[in-house]
Amino acid sequence: MARFPFKQADVVELAESVLKGLKDNKDIYPAPWVTLADFEAAIEKYHKADEKLTQAKNARKAATAKYQNELNGLMKMTKKQLRYAEVIVDYDNEKLELLGWGGRKKRTPKLTPPVADRSENNASAETDNE
């Protein structure tokens, strides 16, 4: 026994095949449960809906590209304005906060790695562990 398809394209292909078979073999299938006119109309409605969906997807892609382009432009301009403000006020945090921004953070002193403790107490503890 055949299995009903799950893929969209396969379902449509099957529906069109069934419609053709029913039309071509009216002597075998004289009174289908769904009229051929209704069945054909359903297939046509599907194709129109699929076309509208494709158009909507393309419109969405175009709108997303335009949105991203506008956002990138806004980001560049905002960064440029912030750099201007930073230079003009010499990174003064109080003045930059007026723009909702802050200046450079003060550098933290470079940390030096700790030196291993080689005192007598530490050396005797190491020999005890051996």
Domain boundaries, the chain: 8-76
pLDDT value for 97 = 92
Q: Tokens 């003009």 identify what position?
A: 88
Q: What is the pLDDT of residue 104?
A: 65
CB 22 within 8 A of CB 32: yes
How many Cα atoms sit within 13 Å of 5 on the Cβ side? 10
Report the alpha-carbon distance of residue 61 to residue 55 in Å, rounded. Answer: 10
Under a CB-based contact definition with an 8 Å cutoff, are residues 9 and 30 in contact?
Answer: no
Which two structure tokens, joined as six digits, stand for 96?
């930059």
Q: Band of the pLDDT at 64, cuts 50, 70, 90?
A: very high
CA–CA separation, 119 vs 32, rounded Å? 99
> Tens digits of per-residue pLDDT, 88-122?
999 999 999 999 998 666 677 777 777 776 666 65
**What average pLDDT does range 68-92 have in this prediction?**
95
